[in-house]
Amino acid sequence: MRKLFIPAIILISLAACRHAGPPEPYGPLPSERQLAWHEMEYYMFVHFTVNTFTGKEWGYGDEGESVFNPSEMDCRQWARVAKDAGMKGIIITAKHHDGFCLWPSDYTEHSVKNSVWRNGKGDVLRDLREACDEFGLKMGVYLSPWDRNIAVYGTPEYLEYYRNQLHELLTSYGDIFEVWFDGANGGSGYYGGARETRRIDNKTYYDWPKTHELVRKLQPDAVMFSDAGPDVRWVGNESGMGSLTNWCLLRRDELWPGGDFARILGEGHEDGNYWVPAEVDVSIRPGWFYHPEEDSRVRSPENLLELYYSSVGRNSNLLLNIPPDKRGLLHEKDVESLLAFRKIREREFENELAGGKAARASSVRGRDFKAGNVTDGNPDTYWTVKDGQTAADITIDLGQETEVNRILIQEYIRLGQRVREYKVEALSDGEWIPLTEGTTIGYKVIRKFPTVRTSRVRLTISKSGACPVISNIELYRAPGE
Ligand code: FUL
């Protein structure tokens, strides 16, 4: 009897262990379209319009269509460069504040159709679609809500105009991954000849919910960006800086595009009731549009790498603007810097040291959620602990003394964003020494620290909204330091 009884207990507890189910989701969760967006990480912004030819940043709206005349227009060059740079998509200013449309819109005369470029038969959006398809890139559109050209701007009629244009863009150019709604509204403009200042109420004028509905209907897989989402939020600055504390969560109903929310947008809201992650938009040059006098002020590859750490490394996507010049080409200086940035980025993350290495945790929820899941290279497996445990640690055993100076950590965000405080330490001469510490993790953080020689690296999560769920940890020895 006794002999039978003991194995039965073991069997029962083994079975319980094996069948421990996944934790319940915690808080707001990302949609499938947002999950796909997170994985985009790094893509190109293209600012191109009459400003490229007039030298302005904000066209007044009275520019003649003939001004737009790129001499060597080639969207394939943009796409090839984006691909070679390691980017996954391109978002284009289909219409900037000046109101000039890069596609032959049926709703205005102020577009490429009345330019001399290709005798009015050109369509930048069509060219870009073909180029993106050829190079395996996703495509996104920016359609400025502020329009300084059109007479009806400021009236309800404009909203119909704006939605008609959105309808054209979202039905004529294939799958769109992101629709970009700018919050800028400056006031003065041409407005069909009125040449006056028009003020609108950012909060109410655009009736955003109706526009959002239209986008959802026409392109259900597209995310919508604005200061306040609904799917992706502005990071609150244009200098390339993601916030160190960065919740993918937002009380988005309290905010609206163009409102004064820069500080909130950096961190998001820990108690936000929607998943609205941050996107860092920044230009490779001082301006958003091409100006020859800025040719000497293109960001260096090293500077771009810093931007990468302060955006992708801080749980944000990086939307990097590379403005085409008057030829309609990305300028040689920008291309050179961009491609060199790819090289140094690849060198930075060349040697992943944790992959396949053993890991041990302070506790484990069950067999399916073991510590080793963080080093198995599979984004669908994760380490987690029992419900109610909001502090835990996990140690990666590198097997031998190894130099390390970067750590990459990812939460399994399908179950929500949880971690509020963590630290990373290394075992050195029998003692745990601090390497780095932080607050939020989310989709991804990458942290730098001075090179250390160690055989073990430990991540300790000291505060978490619910049991932490970590899908991936990577360690690197980047050159230098
Ligand atoms: C701002 C605009 O005013 C700039 O011209 C640029 O398009 C930038 C991305 O957004 O709000």
| Mean pLDDT per 10-residue interval, the chain, length 481 residues | 44 51 98 98 98 98 98 98 98 98 98 98 98 99 98 97 98 98 93 97 96 98 97 98 98 93 95 98 98 98 98 98 98 98 98 97 97 98 98 98 98 98 97 98 98 98 98 97 72
Q: Where are the alpha helices (DSSP H) in 195-322?
A: 208-218, 262-267, 301-310
Residue nearest to atom 11 of ligand 1 (CA): 184
* Token duo for residue 445: 């953080």
Cβ(463)–Cβ(331) under 8 Å?
A: no
Q: Indicate the SS3 state at residue 339.
A: helix
Q: Is 248 left (phi over 0), alpha (psi -120 to 50) or beta?
A: alpha
Cβ(187)–Cβ(61) under 8 Å?
A: no
* pLDDT score at 19: 57
* Token duo for residue 466: 């619910």
Which of 211-240 are b and which e, b meaning 16 or more Cβ less than 10 Å from the residue's Cβ? bbebbeeebeebbbbbbbbbbbbbbbbeeb
Distance 144 CA to ligand 1 centre (A): 9
Parallel, antiparallel, or unpaired for β 445-464 and 419-428? antiparallel
Distance 281 CA to ligand 1 centre (A): 9
Task: Choose which residue among 235, 288, 289, 321 to substitute to test ligand 1 binding: the one with the highest number of ligand atoms within 8 A of its C-beta.
Answer: 288
Residue nearest to atom 6 of ligand 1 (CA): 288
Calpha distance 314→305 (Å, rounded) = 13
Tally the residues of the chain: 481
The number of the ligand 1 atom at minimal distance from the alpha carbon of 142 is 7
Distance 400 CA to ligand 1 centre (A): 50
Calpha distance 36→32 (Å, rounded) = 6
Distance 184 CA to ligand 1 centre (A): 7
Cβ(276)–Cβ(299) under 8 Å?
A: no
Of the candidates 413, 414, 399, 418, the residue with the CA atom closest to the CA atom of residue 457:
399
* pLDDT score at 403: 98
CA atoms within 13 A on the CB side of 273: 5
Distance 205 CA to ligand 1 centre (A): 19
Q: Is 180 left (phi over 0), alpha (psi -120 to 50) or beta?
A: beta
Distance 121 CA to ligand 1 centre (A): 28
Which residues of the chain are in CATH 3.20.20.80 domains?
32-348
E runs forming strands in 193-289: 196-197, 223-226, 232-234, 249-250, 274-275, 278-283
The number of the ligand 1 atom at minimal distance from the alpha carbon of 180 is 9
Angstrom CA distances, 480 to 406, 447, 463, stand at 12, 15, 33
Which residues of the chain are in CATH 2.60.120.260 domains?
358-476
Q: Indicate the SS3 state at residue 12.
A: helix
Cβ(132)–Cβ(79) under 8 Å?
A: yes
Distance 296 CA to ligand 1 centre (A): 22
Ligand 1 pocket list (CB less than 6 A): 57, 182, 184, 281, 288
Q: In 10 A of CB 20, how many CB atoms? A: 16
The number of the ligand 1 atom at minimal distance from the alpha carbon of 96 is 7
Calpha distance 260→356 (Å, rounded) = 47
Q: Indicate the SS3 state at residue 177.
A: strand
Calpha distance 44→299 (Å, rounded) = 15
CATH top class, domain 32-348: alpha beta
Angstrom CA distances, 428 to 359, 432, 473, stand at 17, 6, 20
CATH top class, domain 358-476: mainly beta
- What residues have CB less than 8 Å from 146, skipping those under 6 apart? 97, 153, 182, 184, 185, 186
The number of the ligand 1 atom at minimal distance from the alpha carbon of 184 is 11
Of the candidates 29, 22, 38, the residue with the CA atom closest to the CA atom of residue 467:
22
Q: Indicate the SS3 state at residue 166.
A: helix
* pLDDT score at 244: 98
Name the CA radius of gyration of the chain, rounded: 25
Distance 289 CA to ligand 1 centre (A): 10
The number of the ligand 1 atom at minimal distance from the alpha carbon of 283 is 9
Parallel, antiparallel, or unpaired for β 317-321 and 278-283? parallel
Task: Choose which residue among 48, 238, 261 to substitute to test ligand 1 binding: the one with the highest number of ligand atoms within 8 A of its C-beta.
Answer: 238
* Token duo for residue 106: 């049926």
Calpha distance 281→279 (Å, rounded) = 6
Helix 124-135 to helix 75-84 angle, to the nearest 10 degrees?
A: 30
The number of the ligand 1 atom at minimal distance from the alpha carbon of 281 is 9
Residue nearest to atom 10 of ligand 1 (CA): 182
Phi first, then psi, for residue 303 (nearest 5°) are -65, -40
Distance 251 CA to ligand 1 centre (A): 24
Cβ(108)–Cβ(168) under 8 Å?
A: no
* Token duo for residue 197: 């200042």
Residue nearest to atom 4 of ligand 1 (CA): 288
Calpha distance 82→45 (Å, rounded) = 10
Residue nearest to atom 3 of ligand 1 (CA): 184
CA-based angle 313:319:321, to the nearest 5? 130
Q: In 10 A of CB 350, how many CB atoms? A: 11
Do you find a cis peptide bond into 277, omega within 30 degrees of 0?
A: no
Distance 287 CA to ligand 1 centre (A): 10
